[in-house]
Chain A
Amino acid sequence: MNRNDIISELKKIVSQITRINISELSEDILVREELGIDSLMAMEIVASCEKRLGIYIDEEQIFEIDTIGDFYNLIVKLYKEKTQ
């Protein structure tokens, strides 16, 4: 999967869990303050990414995320590390 494929998959995951339209998920949206992602939703997203992409996400890395774009970048990086 290239970066676009991964981001497309991530948008589906986030949209499914937050129940927000994919078209609304622009990369500058703040995940906590705007999307209202709490720790349970965050873990649902983490678990879905781990299962669909075969990666492991340390929850410490989730603390550092501010925007949806930060989240996409983290997952793309972890996926590339796994596949290299």
Chain B
Amino acid sequence: MQTILHYWNGIGAALPTISGATPVDDELRIIDENLEKINFDEHSDLVGITAITQQANRAYEIADEFRKRGRYVVMGGIHATVLPEEAMEHVNSVFVGEGENTWPAFIRDFKNGSPQKIYRQTDFAPVNLQLSPIPRYDLIERYSYPVVWLFASRGCPHDCEFCAASKIYGKKWKHKSTVQVSREIEEVKKRWKFAQIGFADDNLFQNKSFSYELVERFSDLSFTWYAQSDLSVARDVNFLRKLRKGGCRILFIGFESTNPKNLASINANHWKATQYREYRNSIARIQENGIGIYGSFIVGLDYDDSTVFQNTIRFINENNLLGAQITILTPLPGSRLRVRLEKENRILSNDWQLYTGWNALIRHRNLSPETLERGLLEIYQNVYNRDNYRKRANYFRGICHNLIN
């Protein structure tokens, strides 16, 4: 459990990247409110905020406080991208989509005294990630992050119903150059000697030649890292060996459900469902190569019933997953799921601060909200109890012994 808290305890690459796209003679300061109190009276010409949905209420409070003091406030990020009209009630300008093109355009307009209300990436040429600036890690180096998040690519072809990523970044996958990524890693390692690197990419290994080039390059850099991937990496044992040699220690993989009926309804292309029969073999193959899997699971999918909690526990423990993150199905704005559940009148709350994955926000056919929330805790308590931890630890001890020999 400590690892999963550690895993998510870092900062995303959005603000450092946007800072990198800002003219160098502009004075910038990034504040991470998880670690530092905001001084609303500090002078600034411009305040920029980014937020995911569960942070949106707080983002609006911050925006309102700054606007009360006469500041010009702008907002981007996932929530503003999927609900720009809502964000506009609290800020002066809103950014929809990726920021590499829209932000410099806004800065020019702002300096000319003619900023627009909304900047949409779709009104600009597609973002070329190979021209994306080096993130300004110098602006956050005062924070002791255990994990620093980078991204090497954007986009995911699977378009899972519950996920808004495909809507935000598109289904077409694009990537930075491996030289760019290596430079970013060197910038991070200069500043945080113990920090591990997490790749926030929704699905990093989608292109075989890029994946090989990336991990070959990482073998020359001395660092350990995590990434998110789909299960297809398990098909190439040679790549798994190179992944480990390149410093990859954990892959975060979305299994979502142990019920094939649920999996069949997640993607239009049935990707998850087609992988189901390979789940066990693929997990074993990845972990036997010294890469731990953090599995992601959702409870409250349409075909779940009261057996979902024990089935999820059994799957995680039987497969010796290094760790697991379990959430209750959440109708995130921007997702196809939300559109469907709205039509079915099944959304119980639009209070964004409850959109954490820990709260039951949907009306389920078989499971009450209380049952979902209680069941979620039951899974965590079982998976992370000491006996199961010991069992998994011994499983990995055996794997490590094999890898040494």
- A48–B396 touching, CB < 8 Å: no
Task: List B274-303 residues whose CB lies under 8 Å from chain A.
Answer: 290, 292
- A47–B397 touching, CB < 8 Å: yes
A9 within 8 A of B: no
- A38–B249 touching, CB < 8 Å: yes
- B194–A36 touching, CB < 8 Å: yes
- B404–A51 touching, CB < 8 Å: yes
B392 within 8 A of A: yes
Give every chain B residue within 8 A of A42 (Cβ-Cβ). 393
Task: Report the interface size class on chain A.
Answer: 20 to 34
- A19–B3 touching, CB < 8 Å: no
Give every chain B residue within 8 A of A20 (Cβ-Cβ). 193-194
Known: A19-B222, A43-B397. A38 touches B404 (CB 8 A): no
B68 within 8 A of A: no
B223 within 8 A of A: yes
Task: List A33-84 residues whose CB lies under 8 Å from chain B.
Answer: 33-36, 38-44, 46-48, 50-51, 59-60, 62-63
Give every chain B residue within 8 A of A33 (Cβ-Cβ). 146
- B397–A46 touching, CB < 8 Å: yes
B2 within 8 A of A: yes
Cα A62 to Cα B386 with chains together (Å): 12
- B392–A50 touching, CB < 8 Å: no
Cα A32 to Cα B146 with chains together (Å): 10
- A35–B194 touching, CB < 8 Å: yes
Output the least CB separation between A77 and chain B (Å): 19
Cα A43 to Cα B389 with chains together (Å): 12
- B224–A18 touching, CB < 8 Å: yes
Mark interface residues in A2-42 (1 if CB within 8 Å of B CB, else 0).
Answer: 00000000000000001111001000010011111011111
Give every chain B residue within 8 A of A44 (Cβ-Cβ). 290, 396, 400
- A48–B400 touching, CB < 8 Å: yes
Give every chain B residue within 8 A of A50 (Cβ-Cβ). 401
- B400–A38 touching, CB < 8 Å: no
Give every chain A residue within 8 A of B394 (Cβ-Cβ). 59
Cα A47 to Cα B399 with chains together (Å): 9
Give every chain A residue within 8 A of B2 (Cβ-Cβ). 32, 38
- B194–A40 touching, CB < 8 Å: no
User: 10 A-B residue contacts at CB 8 Å?
Assistant: A19-B224, A19-B247, A24-B193, A29-B194, A33-B146, A34-B146, A39-B3, A39-B322, A40-B292, A63-B386
- What are the nearest 10 A-B pairs in CB distance? A47-B400, A38-B3, A40-B292, A43-B396, A19-B222, A43-B397, A59-B393, A44-B400, A47-B401, A36-B196
